[in-house]
Structure 1
Amino acid sequence: MQKRLPTSGPILCRREMIAFVPAITLAWLWVGVEAMILLGITALIVAYMTRPILPALDQPGRETDHATGLPLREEGAGLMQDMIEEAARSVRSTACLVVGIDDATRLERQLPGAEFDEIMRRTSERLAGALRDSDMVARLEGARFAVMLKPTPHPDLESMIQLSVRLQSATEEPLSIAGRELSITTYAGFCLLKRCPNATGDKMISAAETAAEEAARNGPSAIRAFSPEIRRTAEIRSSLSTDAGEGLENGDIVAYFQPQLSTDTGQVTGMQAVPRWLHRDRGILTEEDILPAVAAAGMRKRFYEVMMYQIFSALRTWQRKGEICGPVSIPVNDELMANPKMAERLQWELDRFDLDPSLIRLILQQNVIGQLKEDIVAHNLASCRKLGCHVELAGFGNGPASVSSIKTANAQRLRIHRSFVTQVDRNPEKQQLVAAIISLAEGMGVATLAEGVTTIGEHSMLAQLGCNHVQGRAISAPMPLDETHEWLKRHQARLAKTPQIDTKRGA
């Protein structure tokens, strides 16, 4: 093992010394100076032996991370290989964890380089402080760390989850950076040696990274264990990323549209645009596959250009045919809203297609809602509202959206998350929660839309509770543009046969 150095300050300031203070005092009072000195020396030894440690920085020719002093991936793989070989000799087992900072790209973009490096350094120290002296830490690409565990008799799923939670707790304590308090969250993925056939150090780190990437996709502070299924999913995503460019240029990635209805009149009050990939081998793929593939291919900008063109073309087509389908809701994420030219580009497209800006509803995704007060995001949002575009908040009730974010965004509509909508007709608790959200929205003069409505019973209950609009497979699955024309005709024909309720409850 490598030589290590203490990283947490003078030994006399270590918290392990506190437990010895009463004993040292009593030894002096009851026995004498000799006993007090003996206990004091013992306390110093304990504090030294339990200090948090990191790899030494003074090894000639050794490449380390400039911010943390940790070894980089190549050396980390070598350390993991040492652990694997030691486990084989001792008939024990080992594991590898990868811990990363959630939303690190945004954090790095917002902070000066020195402050971001300080976060990396402090996070690495906290990881080391929560581990055993014999465990090792390395810095991976981006804001990620690999943890190589000293072999133990029986590492299992439960113990690894507990360790992951402990590491998250250690790293998520608030940080004081440049005179202000900053909070971060971390995700974790791990791989047990027995889950990695023909394991090498590099394979173990790669497997833990695969699990960590899955955790990162599942929200803040998520934890995932490596499994063959996760590997297969990652391989599919990797292969899709190589096809993404071809799919965009060949017209295989297209906009589908899902109708939104008024619960008062049954009329179509809008459409939501969703991406679909007509993949030659895998059939129709949804945004869950498309967005990661496009991101991995580095083609997010091109993806949004293609989608916007198809959405505006659809609006022009509906106008020419005299079909009334209301505004189109377009999901926008933090990357799009952080583009200083986003509003300017949107106005250019509207002018190009000669469209009224009120035909566009921007759905602020959850990763945007937490950034509403950032300069560029706030500027883009204000510019879009000035153009005449509508704004709605996604996933209300299951994310960061709050009363203050409704006011800051000046949102015209809240989208009630599908987790509250599912079986709302049979679940009194969900009915109370949805009623509370609707009451809040009405009090603020904001309309509501329920996402993911899958049954007539849910639709009916939401109407009774006062939700203004509904969207989901109970109304229609997302469909390509050419199918919307016939659907609109059929829907209008059904409405003509249905008695209308004369109410005016919401916009």
Structure 2
Amino acid sequence: MAKAKGSQIKALWSKGREALMGPQLAAFLPAIMLGAYWFGGEGVLLTTAVIVPALIAFFGLLSRRGPAAARRDSITGLPGRVQLVQALDSALTTGLTPAGDARMAMVVEIDNYEGLEHQYGDDGIDAIRRAAADRLAAGLRESDLLAAIGIRRFGLALGKTPRVDLETMIQLAGRLQEALAAPISLGGARVLITACVGFALPGRVPDQTGEAILAAAESALDEAQKSGPGSVRAFSKGMRPRVSAPDNVTKDVITALQQGQIQPWFQPQISTDTGDLTGFEALARWLHPEKGMIAPGAFLPAIARAGLFERLGEVILFHALSAVRDWDAAGLCVPSVAVNFSPDELRNPKLFDKVRWELDRFEIAPRRLTIEVLEDVVAQSDDDTTTRNIAALSRLGCGIDLDDFGTGHASISNIRRFDVTRIKIDRSFITHVDTDRDQQNMVAAILTMAERLGLDTLGEGVESHGEHAMLAQLGCGHVQGYSIAKPMPFEETGPWIVSHQKKIARTPVFPRKIG
């Protein structure tokens, strides 16, 4: 019944459009205008004079655009499922063989679509879809067809390809995923997305029709999604549902942030001259109520997929400054706290105002907050917002630590441009520095450069007293690592500080190495 009613409405719409576009309109136009004047006077006559030409123009536009335009996606401008299936059917009927130049179907779907939509709203998710469409299109050839076959799903009909095999398709899927993985600028934020991919080779699909090939690719996509975000699967005739459950880490990590399960743990940093505590680094830790402690490497990728790095940064900064306030209230001497800022946070134009507001709220001097920036960010960033943020925080009085120094390609000019005040020597240079002469020479060279540039230094990942002693002799200003203390929850920092203060009187001060 509903279907019949819909057909009647469609028929009336079509007849109305034809009536307004045909030459017969000229015969009725005087009658229409006279009737308008008779019915409502000059006001209605003027209104009719405006509306009728507008309707003519509107229906004329529809007529010129034709049915193909109506089937295009309104956000991305891409053709839809019908055109994609037609392209596949056309290739199959032209006599192209599966072993040579037959078209193949691939389906790409954005992961965590609902989470992105919830976080960024309708306008944000539309921008993400457009960016994804542009990046996919940029990675294809003119002979390929890209279509929007769902609000989060894209379909590809691949044209003539010299080599058609599983490896070629996997490589293409990887390239498309890599293109989508680059940060998407959305207002002041950078959004990271992943996508699952399913594809089908025509020779492996029993029913040789465009719809069947596309359906096979979608079946492969369903299997890929069962393996978690960013997975790739090829269609096979014997494909069966996988036993493994879908990845729920992203959903769990959102809940963890909301419920306060993710908080900073604090690892001390001490002076090699005096042994005094010079600060703590705040490190994100997830204490799951059932699974216990979850390593950062297991949940930070989920944070990235959910686009929650900025929210994580806000949580860590709040608790870090709260800790400084509580240490002061307890009469404990903690000169500074260091907080890691992700590239996404550093690109946020509102970062400086957020940090300054938090410092004012806790009444903490900016010099007691250190911003840790990865060397790769300094080496690769040409983003003016990142540069301005770091420079503004430095002018405010915050310390700027260059983290993991030696693993990237930061130039001296970039170190100066980003107002770095201290470099943290990566643990790869620290390991066995007490026994490995090459390590000693490398660290000595880094320390000499830092001294010439007027930069302070800190050795990361110090795991033995021998490494600690050698770094002191070489002239490294500060050390951090398991030989001093492992990261600890805030509640344990107070007793540790008291114990350390009692112990440093018995700890020998290592003399600097001369010459």
> TM-score normalized by structure 1?
0.60
What is residue 128 of structure 1 aligned with on the other side?
141
Q: What one-letter code is carried by the residue in structure 2 that aligns with 1:383?
A: A
Q: Displacement of 1:143 after TM fit?
A: 12
What is residue 291 of structure 2 aligned with on the other side?
282
Q: What one-letter code is carried by the residue in structure 1 that aligns with 2:255?
A: D
Taking a change above 3 Å as real, the CA distance of residues 242 and 126 of structure 1, as seen in their structure-2 partners, is closer
What is residue 320 of structure 1 aligned with on the other side?
329
Distance in 1 of aligned mates of 2:413 and 2:245: 38
**Residues 103-182 of structure 1 correspond to what in structure 2 (within 5 A)?**
124-128=137-141, 137=146, 155=165
What is residue 252 of structure 2 aligned with on the other side?
240
2:220 paired residue among 204, 207, 211: 204
1:409 paired residue among 418, 422, 425: 418
Q: Given the alignment of the two structures, is residue 273 of structure 1 paired with residue 282 of structure 2, yes or no?
A: yes
Distance in 2 of aligned mates of 1:291 and 1:394: 17
Q: What one-letter code is carried by the residue in structure 1 that aligns with 2:137?
A: S
Distance in 2 of aligned mates of 1:233 and 1:462: 48
**Residues 241-390 of structure 1 correspond to what in structure 2 (within 5 A)?**
241-248=253-260, 252-294=261-303, 300-365=309-374, 368-369=377-378, 374-390=383-399
Distance in 2 of aligned mates of 1:441 and 1:258: 24
Distance in 1 of aligned mates of 2:377 and 2:469: 32
Taking a change above 3 Å as real, the CA distance of residues 137 and 441 of structure 1, as seen in their structure-2 partners, is farther
Taking a change above 3 Å as real, the CA distance of residues 245 and 501 of structure 1, as seen in their structure-2 partners, is closer
What is residue 39 of structure 2 aligned with on the other side?
none
Q: Given the alignment of the two structures, is residue 478 of structure 1 paired with residue 494 of structure 2, yes or no?
A: no
Distance in 1 of aligned mates of 2:308 and 2:173: 33
Distance in 2 of aligned mates of 1:479 and 1:140: 50
Larger Rg: 2
Q: Displacement of 1:286 after TM fit?
A: 3.7
Q: Displacement of 1:275 after TM fit?
A: 1.7
Q: Aligned-pair RMSD on alpha carbons? A: 5.3
Q: Given the alignment of the two structures, is residue 396 of structure 1 paired with residue 394 of structure 2, yes or no?
A: no
Taking a change above 3 Å as real, the CA distance of residues 270 and 210 of structure 1, as seen in their structure-2 partners, is farther
- Matched-pair contact (CA < 8 Å) for 1:80–1:148: yes
Q: Displacement of 1:259 after TM fit?
A: 0.8
Distance in 1 of aligned mates of 2:149 and 2:296: 28
- Matched-pair contact (CA < 8 Å) for 2:228–2:247: no
Q: Displacement of 1:267 after TM fit?
A: 2.5
Q: Displacement of 1:389 after TM fit?
A: 0.9
Taking a change above 3 Å as real, the CA distance of residues 422 and 71 of structure 1, as seen in their structure-2 partners, is farther
Q: Secondary structure at the match of 2:140?
A: helix
Q: Which runs of 5+ in 1 are unaligned?
A: 1-56, 84-88, 101-112, 172-185, 215-223
Q: Secondary structure at the match of 2:285?
A: strand
Return 137-146 or 460-469, whichever deviates more.
137-146
Distance in 1 of aligned mates of 2:89 and 2:218: 8
Q: Displacement of 1:484 after TM fit?
A: 1.0
Q: What is the number of equivalent residue pairs in this alignment? A: 396
Q: Secondary structure at the match of 1:255?
A: strand
- Matched-pair contact (CA < 8 Å) for 1:413–1:449: yes
Q: Displacement of 1:362 after TM fit?
A: 0.5
Taking a change above 3 Å as real, the CA distance of residues 260 and 161 of structure 1, as seen in their structure-2 partners, is farther
- Matched-pair contact (CA < 8 Å) for 1:77–1:201: no
Q: What one-letter code is carried by the residue in structure 2 that aligns with 1:274?
A: L
Q: What one-letter code is carried by the residue in structure 2 that aligns with 1:451?
A: E
Return 236-245 or 296-305, whichever deviates more.
296-305
Taking a change above 3 Å as real, the CA distance of residues 121 and 360 of structure 1, as seen in their structure-2 partners, is closer
Q: Displacement of 1:242 after TM fit?
A: 4.6
- Matched-pair contact (CA < 8 Å) for 2:199–2:221: no
What is residue 12 of structure 1 aligned with on the other side?
none
Q: Given the alignment of the two structures, is residue 447 of structure 1 paired with residue 456 of structure 2, yes or no?
A: yes
- Matched-pair contact (CA < 8 Å) for 2:274–2:509: yes
Distance in 1 of aligned mates of 2:448 and 2:336: 24
Taking a change above 3 Å as real, the CA distance of residues 384 and 190 of structure 1, as seen in their structure-2 partners, is same
Q: What one-letter code is carried by the residue in structure 2 that aligns with 1:202?
A: E
What is the aligned-residue identity percentage?
33
Distance in 2 of aligned mates of 1:392 and 1:123: 37
**Residues 37-116 of structure 1 correspond to what in structure 2 (within 5 A)?**
59=68, 61-64=70-73, 69=78
Q: Displacement of 1:483 after TM fit?
A: 0.5
Q: Displacement of 1:500 after TM fit?
A: 1.9
Q: Displacement of 1:468 after TM fit?
A: 2.6
Taking a change above 3 Å as real, the CA distance of residues 188 and 299 of structure 1, as seen in their structure-2 partners, is closer
Q: Displacement of 1:433 after TM fit?
A: 4.1
Taking a change above 3 Å as real, the CA distance of residues 370 and 67 of structure 1, as seen in their structure-2 partners, is farther
What is residue 59 of structure 2 aligned with on the other side?
none
Q: Displacement of 1:280 after TM fit?
A: 1.2
Taking a change above 3 Å as real, the CA distance of residues 436 and 255 of structure 1, as seen in their structure-2 partners, is same
Distance in 1 of aligned mates of 2:437 and 2:152: 43
Return 57-66 or 408-417, whichever deviates more.
57-66
Q: Secondary structure at the match of 2:259?
A: helix
> TM-score normalized by structure 2?
0.59
What is residue 490 of structure 1 aligned with on the other side?
499
Cα offsets for 1:325-382 (capped at 9, x unmatched): 3311111123333333332332232232222211100112357436766443333323
Distance in 2 of aligned mates of 1:166 and 1:275: 32
Q: Displacement of 1:225 after TM fit?
A: 6.4
Q: Which runs of 5+ in 2 are unaligned?
A: 1-65, 92-96, 111-125, 181-192, 202-214, 235-241
Distance in 1 of aligned mates of 2:196 and 2:436: 35
Distance in 1 of aligned mates of 2:454 and 2:466: 27
Return 273-282 or 301-310, whichever deviates more.
301-310
- Matched-pair contact (CA < 8 Å) for 2:197–2:224: yes
Taking a change above 3 Å as real, the CA distance of residues 144 and 213 of structure 1, as seen in their structure-2 partners, is farther
Q: Secondary structure at the match of 1:235?
A: coil
Q: Displacement of 1:148 after TM fit?
A: 6.7
Distance in 1 of aligned mates of 2:271 and 2:229: 39
What is residue 105 of structure 1 aligned with on the other side?
none
Cα offsets for 1:160-200 (capped at 9, x unmatched): 676678889999xxxxxxxxxxxxxx999866879xxxx95
Cα offsets for 1:179-224 (capped at 9, x unmatched): xxxxxxx999866879xxxx9533534666899966xxxxxxxxx8
